[in-house]
């Protein structure tokens, strides 16, 4: 299991593409819309290999010039352990887990969730910037 830092601001999957002699990762629009990331800011990123070709997980930190540490919120996580919530899974992570977001772009990882699923989940573990939940109930209206 990968240890996730409390300073994690965002979690998503993307491919690295070459464009005009540089390598680029596209940031999902939802990261900006949910105020998780801001345009014209510099962030430190971590890359995890998908395991599809090498079978090993490698983590690299890619410092950029003028990198800024994320500013932690004084409010803390918007969820509590044991809390039951309704969420919508937005995407799937590299390990196949559903990824939902709640207030302030806070990430909730839901094993078994698929994009578009509207689920009732129980929050099992809370960290500063990510929570892990289990499915309590599927919404029969979800596609």
Burial of 4 (0-12, 13-18, 19+ CB in 10 A): middle
User: Residue 28's CB: how many other CB atoms inside 10 A?
Assistant: 16
Alpha carbon distance 22, 64 (integer Å): 14
pLDDT digits (tens, 9 = 90+) for 23-53: 888 888 877 877 778 888 888 787 776 654 4
Q: Which pLDDT band, with edges at 50, 70 and 90, does 140 fall under? A: low
Question: pLDDT class for 138, splitting at 50, 70, 90?
Answer: low
What is the overall mean pLDDT for the chain? 76
**The two structure tokens encoding residue 42:** 């510099």
Cα–Cα distance measured from residue 124 to residue 85, given in angstroms and rounded to the nearest whole number: 11
DSSP element (H, E) containing 60: strand 59-62
d(C-alpha 135, C-alpha 111), whole Å: 8
Distance CA 93, CA 109 (A): 9
Report the distance separating Cα 105 and Cα 14, nearest Å.
Answer: 18
């Amino acid at each position: 299991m990968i240890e996730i830092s409390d300073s994690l601001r965002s979690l998503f999957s993307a491919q690295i593409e070459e464009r005009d002699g540089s390598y680029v990762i596209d940031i999902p629009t939802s990261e900006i819309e949910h105020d998780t990331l801001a345009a014209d800011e510099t962030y430190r990123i971590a890359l995890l290999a998908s395991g599809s070709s090498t079978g090993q997980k490698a983590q690299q930190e890619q410092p950029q010039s003028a990198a800024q540490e994320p500013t932690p919120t004084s409010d803390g996580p918007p969820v509590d352990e044991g809390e039951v919530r309704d969420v919508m899974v937005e995407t799937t992570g590299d390990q196949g887990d559903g990824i939902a977001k709640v207030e302030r772009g806070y990430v909730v990882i839901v094993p078994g969730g698929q994009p578009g699923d509207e689920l009732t989940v129980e929050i099992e573990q809370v960290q500063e910037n990510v929570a892990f939940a289990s499915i309590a109930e599927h919404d029969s209206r979800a596609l």
